[in-house]
A = this chain, B = another copy of it.
Amino acid sequence: MARVVVDVMLKPEILDPQGQAVANALPRLGVTDVTSVRIGRRIEIDFDGEPDLDRAREIADKLLANPVIEDFTVSLAEVPAETA
């Protein structure tokens, strides 16, 4: 089995109110050295057999990301061993 990870993030020029809300809450935790928080999606796609990055890129483009406001990256990932 092989896993492909698709990371979908809003483009830098698009406002991210959810991330901004987290950033605004940080001083209450005593954290003052954070300049930016951006929240996106991580999608793990498990392939039966060979991982197919081109196929994953097509899935990301058509199903997972909105290319008008989002960028995505596709990468291979280690599948963690099953633990009992």
- Indicate which residue in B8, B35, B64 contacts A46 across the interface (CB closer than 8 Å): B35
Residue total for A at the interface (Cβ-Cβ under 8 A): 34
> Within the assembled complex, what's the spacing in Å between the Cα atoms of A45 and B16?
13
Minimum distance in angstroms from A20 CB to a CB of chain B: 12
User: Number of copies of this chain in the oligomer?
Assistant: 2
Q: Which of A45, A48, A52 has the most CB of B within 10 A?
A: A45
A-B contact pairs, 18 of them (CB 8 A): A7-B42, A8-B42, A9-B44, A26-B63, A29-B58, A29-B59, A31-B59, A33-B47, A33-B48, A33-B49, A34-B45, A34-B46, A35-B48, A36-B46, A37-B46, A40-B41, A40-B43, A40-B44
